[in-house]
Structure 1
Amino acid sequence: MTDWFTEKQTEHVGVTMAIEETLHSEKTAFQQLDMVKTRQFGNMLLLDGMVMTTEKDEFVYHEMVTHVPLFTHPHPKHVLVVGGGDGGAIREVLKHPSVEKATLVEIDGKVIEYAKKYLPTIAGSLSDNRVEVKVDDGFAHIAHAKEAYDVIMVDSTEPVGPAVKLFERGFYEGIARALKPDGLFVAQTDNPWFQPELLAKVYTDIQEIFPITRVYTANIPTYPSGLWTFTIGSKQYDPTKVASTRFHTLETKYYTPALHMAAFALPKFVQDLLK
């Protein structure tokens, strides 16, 4: 017998995967957490019935949410990851030798606990001596930080449950205050097929706060529609104008300097959304 899990992506669309085994299931203080073993994608983390990450395709998201902003900033030393309790973004951040400290603020400590247990290839860098892990509210952490970070990454779930306020204009205003005078940030901003209004609103909010705002995409097969967007807000540095000399060799599976530039070439319908 094979069990099947379906993520209902809209009222009319779902993606179904074969499940070999449920490794852990728990209602935490914040959300329903399930860790399952799938036949196609290996171990998979689900939060409130939504796919967060899998062993097979996680590298796409984690490389693109980190390396694009970190190569855009010429000297990123202090980096904050809001959310991202699976540890994948932290793992990629630490590949940059200029980073002196990486702070992870995850509201649900259970995500960190079970990622370490069942996703060790993703969470293995959380014990690095350059990393500070805080189980705390990322919104509150941002509100109390002043010019503390060079780069901030918002590695959140979709805008449901505790992540709703991470998609609000007030949060982006707080990020601007938490960044240094030449700082920048990136947020995952869902997909343009099923969440076009969300992408357009977030882009508008960020554009009204930051002088440089750019959207880029990546292909992530286990995320709704497979076409995923990220939005950068920058005080000074343009991610589409990074000098070729700034790139250095990293061990990656998806990200390349050429792809860094190409990712900002948006389909026409996405360009139209952002007008």
Structure 2
Amino acid sequence: MDLWFTENHANNIKYSLKVNKTLNVEKTDYQDLAVIETEQYGRILVLDGILQTTEKDEFVYHEMIVHVPLFTHKNPRSVLIVGGGDGGAIKEILKHNSVERIVLAEIDRKVVENAKKYLQNISYGLDNDKVEIMIGDGIKYVNEHKNEFDIVIVDSTDPIGPAVGLFTIDFYKSVYECLKDDGIIVAQTESPFIYGNLINKLSKMFKQIYPITKPYICIIPTYPGSLWTFTMGSKKYDPENIDTNNIPKIDTKYYTPQIHKAAFILPKFVKDIFEEV
């Protein structure tokens, strides 16, 4: 008998993967968690029934949420990740030799524990000496740390459950204060095919706060809608004005200097969503 994991998204979309075996299922203090081994995408992490990351295509998301802001900044030394307990973003940040300190603010300890146990190909950077793991409310952490980080990466789940507060203007204002004078924030901002209204709302928030606001895109096959957006808010550096010839070569599968530039070229309907007043 074939077994399938099915993600029910936005009440009218289903996405299914054939399952080889279930590695763990548990209810944490914050959400339902599962780690499943699939036929096509290897091991996957699922939170509240929504796929978060897969062994096969995680590199697209994590490379784009990390390398675009870190290569935009002139000298990133300190990075805060809000969410991201799977460790994928940390894995990519560690490829930047200038970074001296990485703080992971993850609300759910069980996400970190399961990633370390079942997703070692993604989570191996969590034990690096540069990494500080803070289990607790990322919003509270941001509020308590001012002018401290060069980069803040909001690696959140969808805007439901414990992540709802990460999609508010008060949070993004707090991140502005948490950043240094030339700091950068990047947040994952969902698919324009599914969350167009939310993306438009977030774009307006960013533009109220950050002198430079730039959305960019990539393709993630296992995320609903596949076309994915990130939104960058920068106090000083324009990600489209960097000299790609100065980007050092690092080990990536998706990100390249050319992709860095191309990611900011938006399809018209996506541009319309971000620019609509």
Q: What TM-score results when the alignment is normalised by the length of structure 2? A: 0.98
Contact 1:183 1:235 in 2 (8 A): yes
Task: Specify the alignment match of 2:190 in structure 1.
Answer: 190
Task: Specify the alignment match of 1:248 in structure 2.
Answer: 248
User: SS in structure 1 opposite 2:40?
Assistant: coil
Task: Specify the alignment match of 1:262 in structure 2.
Answer: 262
Cα distance per residue 1:99-156 (max 9 Å; x no partner) = 0111111000000000001100100011111111111110000011100000000000
- Distance in 2, matches of 1:78 and 1:94, equals 11
Structure-to-structure mapping, 1:42-191, within 5 angstroms:
42-191=42-191
User: SS in structure 2 opposite 1:150?
Assistant: strand
Cα distance per residue 1:54-110 (max 9 Å; x no partner) = 000000000000000000000000100110000000010010010011111100000
- Distance in 1, matches of 2:126 and 2:187, equals 21
Please state how far the C-alpha of 1:244 moved relative to its aligned partner: 2.5
Contact 2:82 2:105 in 1 (8 A): yes
Runs (4+) of structure 1 moved beyond 6 Å?
Answer: none
Cα distance per residue 1:179-207 (max 9 Å; x no partner) = 00110110000000010011000111011
- Distance in 2, matches of 1:101 and 1:274, equals 32
- Distance in 2, matches of 1:12 and 1:50, equals 14
Structure 1 position 9 matched with structure 2 position 39? no
Contact 2:186 2:232 in 1 (8 A): yes
Please state how far the C-alpha of 1:274 moved relative to its aligned partner: 1.5
User: SS in structure 1 opposite 2:183?
Assistant: strand
Please state how far the C-alpha of 1:11 moved relative to its aligned partner: 2.0
Structure 1 position 222 matched with structure 2 position 238? no
Cα distance per residue 1:156-190 (max 9 Å; x no partner) = 00001010000000000000000001101100000
Letter matched to residue 170 of structure 1: D
Letter matched to residue 192 of structure 2: P
Letter matched to residue 167 of structure 1: F
Letter matched to residue 148 of structure 1: E
Please state how far the C-alpha of 1:252 moved relative to its aligned partner: 0.2
- Distance in 2, matches of 1:191 and 1:78, equals 29
Contact 1:217 1:228 in 2 (8 A): yes
- Distance in 2, matches of 1:145 and 1:159, equals 24
CA RMSD after TM alignment: 0.7
Letter matched to residue 91 of structure 1: K
- Distance in 2, matches of 1:183 and 1:253, equals 26
Contact 1:74 1:246 in 2 (8 A): no
Please state how far the C-alpha of 1:4 moved relative to its aligned partner: 1.0
Letter matched to residue 207 of structure 2: Q
Letter matched to residue 78 of structure 1: S
Contact 1:77 1:150 in 2 (8 A): yes
Please state how far the C-alpha of 1:245 moved relative to its aligned partner: 3.9
Letter matched to residue 238 of structure 1: D
- Give the length in aligned residue pairs: 275
Q: What TM-score results when the alignment is normalised by the length of structure 1? A: 0.99
Task: Specify the alignment match of 2:232 in structure 1.
Answer: 232
Task: Specify the alignment match of 2:203 in structure 1.
Answer: 203
User: SS in structure 2 opposite 1:274?
Assistant: helix
Contact 1:71 1:246 in 2 (8 A): no
User: SS in structure 2 opposite 1:264?
Assistant: coil
- Distance in 1, matches of 2:17 and 2:174, equals 39
